[in-house]
Amino acid sequence: MKQHLTVVVVEQNQERAFAIVDALKESGDADVIVIDSVSGLARKIATHSPDIVLIDIDNPSRDMLEELTVASGPMERPVAMFVSGAAGGLAQDAVEAGMSAYVVDGLKADRIKPIMDIAIARFQVLRQMRVELEETRRALEERKLIDRAKGLLMKAKGLQEDEAYALLRKTAMNQNRRVADVAEALVTASGLLS
Amino acid sequence: MRTVTLPVAYMPLVDAAPLIVAREMGFDHTEGISLDLKPAPSWSALRDMLAFGHVDAAHLLSPIPVAMALGLGGFATPLSAVSVLSLNGNVIGVGTKLAGRLADHGYSFDFSDAQAAGAALARSSDEVLVFGVPFTFSMHVELLRYWIARTELASKQVEIRTVPPPLMARALASGEIDAFCVGEPWGSFAVDDNVAALLLPGKAIWTCAPEKVLAVRNDWAETEPELLGGLMRSVWRAGRWLSNQESRTTASEMLSRKAYLNVSPELVDRALLGEFTVSANGEQRHVDGFVEFFEGAATFPWRSQAKWIAHQLAIRNGLDTTTAERQAASVFRSDLYRRELHLLGVEIPGASEKLEGALPEAKAVASTNGSLILPRNAFFDRSIFEPAG
């Protein structure tokens, strides 16, 4: 049995890749290789014959790994783990269910687990940060749209700001849509008409 | 009305239409359920979402549950294909380099003759020919291998690689692959991207290939028969609605939305109307019933379809074909289809198996209401598949 674990990390985002590599290095005796381009992924991974492959569960290229689990003999199969926060524990479930294609004989679970735990924790923190950032950006954009729609209504119908907002909200409620959507429709329509 | 929310996973493809239409047209509410459609980033993720209970049903490549039943590809959660969601709907395309050589050799890009296309491609390609497909267990792989083995392409060294459909055009442009077999809209997407020309619709290889299935876990099917029935009936209604040509433009609009496929409706139209642009210079080809969601009992899960898939998988993986066919037959649940759909007055065939590829013309067959006409069912090489007993 090998002393060192070879871990391949498939991640195109450099920042995320570094974070994962750092986390893995801290945990001890692992050689970590980062693959940042998905073209010919299966072959690239095969040349490193890793013990573990880490790839985000939301990465469409995960399907390329499926070839490895089918093509290679059971003893050569890499342990592929798929870590992500968003899919709600799918990775844990997969591992707990003992996805046999991904587990090599002779590789003890207690060696994988700390690495897994750290990588999962890292992915979750990074993902959460990204989601929060997106949410904030979206909220800001919607605010801007609503302001423009209010402005249009004030000008076209001679309304006060609060009246304009009330009209937007009432329309949204009547049509069972979000205020931001009504605002967007209004801004688009006015752009077309002007 | 109170409805039960049902999480269902799908891949953003044209043939996810029955699920998307069931949701958008409210056929789910008619059955007291509310479909919560979740797009999946990859086929393996989609399969795992279903296997580990994160969703209750899924739009799945028909060979996936069969491969699982044969113990291929790792872990096994018993899955049932309770209905076929669509027949056909794939295209085979080649990169611009090969397309140019094909044209130089006088190939007409008729988009219909599989034998001629194989011969022309064999003449035009180098010794090694690399095809991209979306997944290891897929009808794409089965049709490609069937076609390659029975045409002049058999003399070439062919490699089949997995490439996620949205990345297919890029893989072609970078020379990583020479050709592909992929579900729409990704073939047309590559044509519009000026990196591909289309050679054949999947239908030209087998007129009745079961492409996607509606899959559930066996244990869920047993514990939730009411929900299962509601799901199957709402999806069947969606298929019937889609079979009306007048619905197709509306369907394109629905599918093209950002929440679903996020491509232009014009791109979705091509598959739904069968009007293809096959090359970058805008050559048009028509295919009747390019993808089928309803007509001719299209959604009936024939056990012989599962056996055909199992037969191909068994040969390639060194398994006993008779055993494999027996294991696969129970995956396609013609029994549940009969149980849940007969109340709607659905035209259900009397048999659960048929000879595949044995209908050179459409033919009336025994069925519940006595008016079922099965469509033409033929392989391009006219061979007939007789399922093992």
pLDDT at B221 over 70: yes
CA distance B379 to B206: 4
Q: Between chains, do A67 and B43 touch, taking CB under 8 Å as contact?
A: no
Mean pLDDT is highest, among A89-98, B309-318, B363-372, for B309-318
Cis peptide before B265 (omega within 30 of 0): no
- Say what the pLDDT of residue A107 is: 42
SS3 content of chain A, % helix, strand, coil (to 5): 65, 10, 25
Q: Which of A58, A98, A99 sits opposite B41 (nearest CB)?
A: A58
Taking the Cβ of residue A61 and every Cβ of chain B, the question of whether any pair is shorter than 8 Å is answered with: yes
- Say what the pLDDT of residue A2 is: 40
Residues A58 and A119 in one domain: yes
Tell which residue, B290, B308, B94, B112, has the closest CA to residue B204: B112
Smallest CA–CA distance, residue A155 to chain B, in Å, is: 32
What is the span of the domain harbouring residue A73?
A: 5-131
A132-163 as b/e: b if 16+ CB within 10 A = eeeeeeeeeebeebbebbbebbbeeeeeeeee
Residues A60 and A47 in one domain: yes
CA distance A117 to A121: 6
- Say what the pLDDT of residue B204 is: 97
Q: What angle do CA B181, B184, B188 make, to 5 degrees?
A: 85
Q: How many residues does chain B have?
A: 389
Average pLDDT score over chain B: 94
Which of A127-136, B107-116, B130-139, B252-261 has the least mean pLDDT?
Answer: A127-136
Tell which residue, B10, B14, B69, has the closest CA to residue B40: B10
pLDDT more than 90, % of chain B: 89
Which of A38, A57, A63, A93 to mutate to test binding with chain B, by most B CBs within 10 Å of its CB?
A: A63
Which of A120-129, B129-138, B154-163 has the least mean pLDDT?
Answer: A120-129
Instruction: Judge contact between B212 and B61, C-beta under 8 A.
Output: yes
Domains of chain B: 4-86+209-259+293-354 (3.40.190.10), 90-208 (3.40.190.10)
Residues A149 and A116 in one domain: no
CA distance A60 to B165: 9
Contacts of B54 (CB under 8 A, 6+ apart): A87, A88, A90, A93, B7, B9, B48
Residues A88 and A109 in one domain: yes
Q: How many residues does chain A have?
A: 194
Q: Which of A61, A82, A101 sits opposite B75 (nearest CB)?
A: A101
Which of B49, B60, B135, B163 to mutate to test binding with chain A, by most A CBs within 10 Å of its CB?
A: B163
ipTM of the complex: 0.77
Instruction: Judge contact between B248 and B273, C-beta under 8 A.
Output: yes
More confident: B215 or A125: B215
CA distance B199 to B151: 14
Paired strand residues for B33: B4
Query: Looking at this protein, which amino acid is placed at residue A130?
Result: R
Pure H helices in B244-332: 247-256, 265-273, 303-317, 321-329
Smallest CA–CA distance, residue B272 to chain A, in Å, is: 25
Q: Between chains, do B167 and A57 touch, taking CB under 8 Å as contact?
A: no
Smallest CA–CA distance, residue A15 to chain B, in Å, is: 22
Contacts of B245 (CB under 8 A, 6+ apart): none
Pure H helices in chain B: 17-24, 27-30, 43-51, 63-69, 96-104, 114-124, 139-149, 168-173, 186-192, 218-223, 225-243, 247-256, 265-273, 303-317, 321-329, 334-341
Taking the Cβ of residue A62 and every Cβ of chain B, the question of whether any pair is shorter than 8 Å is answered with: yes
Q: Between chains, do A63 and B174 touch, taking CB under 8 Å as contact?
A: no
| Average pLDDT of the segment spanning B149-166 | 94
Which of B11, B43, B44 to mutate to test binding with chain A, by most A CBs within 10 Å of its CB?
A: B44
Mean pLDDT is highest, among A10-14, A132-136, B322-326, for B322-326
More confident: B295 or A120: B295
Smallest CA–CA distance, residue B42 to chain A, in Å, is: 5
| Average pLDDT of the segment spanning B172-196 | 95
CA distance B173 to A121: 37
No. of helices (H) and no. of strands (E), chain A: 7, 4
Confidence of residue A63 (pLDDT cuts 50, 70, 90): confident
Residues A38 and A96 in one domain: yes
Instruction: Judge contact between B285 and B111, C-beta under 8 A.
Output: yes
Taking the Cβ of residue B339 and every Cβ of chain A, the question of whether any pair is shorter than 8 Å is answered with: no
Taking the Cβ of residue B154 and every Cβ of chain A, the question of whether any pair is shorter than 8 Å is answered with: no
pLDDT digits (tens, 9 = 90+) for B284-307: 999 999 999 999 999 999 999 999
Please, is B170 exposed, middle or buried when counting C-beta atoms within 10 Å of its C-beta (0-12, 13-18, 19+)?
middle
Residues A54 and A126 in one domain: yes
Taking the Cβ of residue A90 and every Cβ of chain B, the question of whether any pair is shorter than 8 Å is answered with: yes
pLDDT digits (tens, 9 = 90+) for B50-77: 988 889 999 999 999 999 999 887 667 8
Residue that is written with structure tokens 């937007």 in the block: A168
Residues A23 and A97 in one domain: yes
Residues A144 and A123 in one domain: no
Number of C-beta neighbours around residue B81 at 10 A: 27
Confidence of residue A99 (pLDDT cuts 50, 70, 90): very low
Instruction: Judge contact between B278 and B285, C-beta under 8 A.
Output: yes
Number of C-beta neighbours around residue B4 at 10 A: 13
Please, is B30 exposed, middle or buried when counting C-beta atoms within 10 Å of its C-beta (0-12, 13-18, 19+)?
middle
pLDDT digits (tens, 9 = 90+) for A132-177: 777 888 888 888 899 999 999 999 999 999 999 999 999 999 998 9
Average pLDDT score over chain A: 73
Measured between beta carbons, which residues in chain B are less than 8 angstroms from residue A40?
A: 176
pLDDT digits (tens, 9 = 90+) for B261-276: 999 999 999 999 999 9
Taking the Cβ of residue B66 and every Cβ of chain A, the question of whether any pair is shorter than 8 Å is answered with: no
Q: Are strands A30-35 and B196-201 parallel, antiparallel or unpaired?
A: unpaired
Confidence of residue A71 (pLDDT cuts 50, 70, 90): low
| CATH code at position A168 | 1.10.10.10
Smallest CA–CA distance, residue A63 to chain B, in Å, is: 6
| Average pLDDT of the segment spanning B110-124 | 96
| Average pLDDT of the segment spanning B20-29 | 96
Return residues 82-101 of B near A (CB < 8 Å).
none
User: What does each C-alpha distance from B38 to A185, B1, B197 come to in angstroms?
Assistant: 26, 23, 32
Counted domains in chain A: 2
Residues A151 and A123 in one domain: no
pLDDT digits (tens, 9 = 90+) for B244-255: 989 999 999 999
Please, is A46 exposed, middle or buried when counting C-beta atoms within 10 Å of its C-beta (0-12, 13-18, 19+)?
middle
Query: Looking at this protein, which amino acid is placed at residue B314?
Result: A
CA distance B256 to A31: 44
Instruction: Judge contact between B211 and B202, C-beta under 8 A.
Output: yes
pLDDT at A85 over 70: no
pLDDT at B199 over 50: yes
- Say what the pLDDT of residue B22 is: 97
CA distance B353 to B306: 10
| CATH code at position A12 | 3.40.50.2300
Q: Are strands B128-133 and B284-286 parallel, antiparallel or unpaired?
A: unpaired
More confident: A122 or B258: B258
Tell which residue, A6, A25, A29, A11, has the closest CA to residue A127: A11
Contacts of A147 (CB under 8 A, 6+ apart): none
- Say what the pLDDT of residue A20 is: 72
| Average pLDDT of the segment spanning A7-16 | 80
Residues A102 and A140 in one domain: no
Taking the Cβ of residue A176 and every Cβ of chain B, the question of whether any pair is shorter than 8 Å is answered with: no
Residues A23 and A89 in one domain: yes
Query: Looking at this protein, which amino acid is placed at residue B195?
Result: V
Confidence of residue A32 (pLDDT cuts 50, 70, 90): confident
Among residues A116, A131, A146, the one where a domain terminates is A131
What are the backbone dihedrals phi and psi of residue B214, each rounded to the nearest 5 degrees, phi first?
A: -90, 115
Taking the Cβ of residue B44 and every Cβ of chain A, the question of whether any pair is shorter than 8 Å is answered with: yes
Residues A90 and A63 in one domain: yes
